Amino acid sequence: MILKDIKTWVTVPPSGIGGSFWVIVKITTDDGIEGIGECYGIPVSGDIACAMVEDTFERFIAGEDPHHVETMFRRVYSAGFTQRPDISMMGVFSGIEIAIWDILGKAHDVPVYQLLGGQFHERLRTYTYLYPEAVSSDGNPDDGAPDVYHDGDAAAARALDYIDMGFTAVKQDPAGPYGFQGGRELSLAELSRCEENVRKIREAVGDRADILFGTHGQMTTSSAIRLARRLEPYDPLWFEEPCPPDQMDAIGRVAAATTIPVATGERLTTRVEFHQALKAGVAILQPDIGRSGGVWETKKIAAMAELFNAQVAPHIYCGPIAHAAAAHVAFSCPNFLILETIQTQFHDAVLQKPLAWEAGYMPAPGEPGLGIVLNETVVESHPYNSGGRLHLEMCQSVLDSNNQKTITELE
């Protein structure tokens, strides 16, 4: 059995929830077994991302035995004489590698988690961001819906909705824009808004749910510590990526200064960068399997975290294929903590059978491979326009020192 052919798609979720587009990969073996994968966050246009995936497959993967995962990883990791973590190439490889594991599970007639040490957990605890409840007829968030990021009462009410669905943890990031300029000092208004949101959520949910405080690297070290001290009375389960991901020492200083566990990882790739995070004092790793190096590398990251008494909470902000792959790794990991989840009508529609939840938990799939089947008709009915938006984009405005107005607007 060898890896023979590849096909890629870029599909656009109508709501924008999970990113502005998803890069989906299908690989076929010479004996007709198909596997599907998904790349996360390659920072180029979707059509270019697909070209990168196809080029990488033809150079390093085509004709290989799918069991040779380690060899294929090392080839791509070292591509172009780099031999170092590369967020774009690892995003490319991760989608390919996920599809290969889907093939391996089908070839051996077992779920992927059985090939990773076997099933350790009977079910996975999951969490969700606080998304607006109201949506318009086209599936997009309703502009008139309450702002769950800037209105503490709306955040608390939405948190209760998710608890009624069975979730035992909710996350939000009310800390303001994520700018390209790097870490900034939050204004007093932003600090107060964050504290008020968390206070009102905690008052509403009591001890029925954990609060996950998500940020996206927008703070300086000092600002993150100031915010952490305001949040500590409400006992969040974690404080996520408080400083830019290229400032791991700064994230470590924040971790040393607060009682809240610090989490990070969605913008890191391979065990090299996650090892740096662990050494800095990060307690919860958040690899995104569509970027971190794929199934096998993410399993290694989780195993390495055990040596630091740290836990793994896989990040998911993409489509359901990477979501399914992350779940298989999580089912096999003793130090799994919780899995991010996204469920929209489109997430369900791109699979012939949607991912399953049972009152906020994900049961173990029993089907071979990833246990999912792509609905190619739906994928192809939501095409990406060449040169469109990136999967995620940062604020392109330079803020003044009080973070209240734009000085320069970059188009």
Same domain as 23, residue 171: no
109: left (phi over 0), alpha (psi -120 to 50) or beta: left
pLDDT, tens only, 83-114 = 999 999 999 999 999 999 999 999 999 999 99
Residue 390 lies inside a defined structural domain of this protein = no
- The mean pLDDT of 356-372, rounded to a whole number, is 96
Residue 60 lies inside a defined structural domain of this protein = yes
Residue 316 lies inside a defined structural domain of this protein = yes
Q: Which two tokens stand for residue 238?
A: 């974690």
> What is the structure's pLDDT at 138?
45
Residue 376 lies inside a defined structural domain of this protein = no
The values of phi and psi at residue 211, to 5°, are -105, 125
Which residue, 111, 127, 149, sits at the end of a domain? Answer: 111
Same domain as 306, residue 189: yes
Same domain as 131, residue 87: no
Same domain as 353, residue 232: yes
Same domain as 55, residue 128: no
Same domain as 107, residue 80: yes
Same domain as 119, residue 100: no
Residue numbers of the domain that contains 194: 113-366
pLDDT, tens only, 244-292 = 999 999 999 999 999 999 999 999 999 999 999 999 999 999 999 999 9
Residue 98 lies inside a defined structural domain of this protein = yes
Query: Number of folded domains in the chain?
Result: 2
pLDDT, tens only, 24-69 = 999 999 999 999 999 999 999 999 999 999 999 999 999 999 999 9
Which residue, 57, 91, 111, sits at the end of a domain? Answer: 111
Same domain as 164, residue 193: yes
What are the angstrom distances between the C-alpha of 246 and each of 31, 95, 171, 179, 291?
A: 44, 24, 23, 14, 16
> What is the structure's pLDDT at 408?
43
> What is the structure's pLDDT at 145?
77
Instruction: Using pLDDT thresholds of 50, 70 and 90, give the confidence band for residue 137.
Output: very low
Same domain as 126, residue 26: no
Same domain as 205, residue 68: no
> What is the structure's pLDDT at 198?
98
Same domain as 322, residue 197: yes
Q: Is 150 exposed, middle or buried (0-12, 13-18, 19+ CB in 10 A)?
A: middle
